[in-house]
């Protein structure tokens, strides 16, 4: 039997984190990093715009018992990355440092792409990487 052809995907539209405190998450991503807030529902979630993508932050105890949508939850230190134009990379690094967020590591990748890592209030590993790094992978 021939393998079916995979339809094309455009991108990952949403990334989901599970957090302990929505107000603290809001302060970090909106007030410190400047991401626009799309939705804030007490005791459930806060959502942020990141370019064409959305960062979903849920309280796991709320989504674990979901009945309308499929239940989901998680725990632990997760990782995700924001991308920025190479010309904006140093400005982002400077901005993060000026907000008092400690940069944990900076990496130079093949092709001269750079990224740096820091932690959010739930200790998730956040990365900012120059756009284009995975383009030819």
Shared-domain flag, residues 59 and 80? no
Range of the domain at 29: 11-63
What is the tens place of the pLDDT at every residue in 41-87?
Answer: 999 999 999 999 999 999 999 999 888 889 899 999 999 999 999 99
pTM: 0.90
Is residue 3 in a domain?
Answer: no
Asked if residue 116 is part of any domain, the answer here is yes
122 and 101 housed in the same domain:
yes
pLDDT digits (tens, 9 = 90+) for 38-47: 999 999 999 9
Cβ-count burial of 86 within 10 angstroms (0-12 exposed, 13-18 middle, 19+ buried)? Answer: middle
Instruction: Name the more confident of 136 and 122.
Output: 122
Considering the domain boundaries, does residue 1 fall inside one?
A: no
Whether residue 69 is contained in a domain is answered as: no
């Amino acid at each position: 039997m021939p393998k079916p052809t995979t339809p094309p995907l455009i991108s990952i539209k949403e990334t989901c984190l599970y957090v302990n405190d929505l107000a603290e998450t809001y302060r970090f991503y909106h007030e410190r990093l400047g991401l626009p807030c799309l939705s804030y529902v007490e005791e459930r979630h806060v959502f942020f715009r990141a370019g064409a993508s959305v960062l979903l932050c849920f309280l796991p105890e709320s989504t674990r018992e979901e009945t309308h949508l499929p239940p989901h939850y998680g725990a632990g230190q997760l990782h995700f990355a924001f991308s920025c134009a190479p010309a904006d990379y140093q400005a982002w690094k400077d901005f993060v440092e000026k907000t008092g967020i400690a940069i944990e590591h900076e990496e130079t990748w093949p092709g001269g792409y750079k990224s740096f890592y820091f932690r959010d209030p739930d200790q998730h590993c956040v990365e900012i990487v120059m756009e284009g790094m995975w383009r030819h992978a």
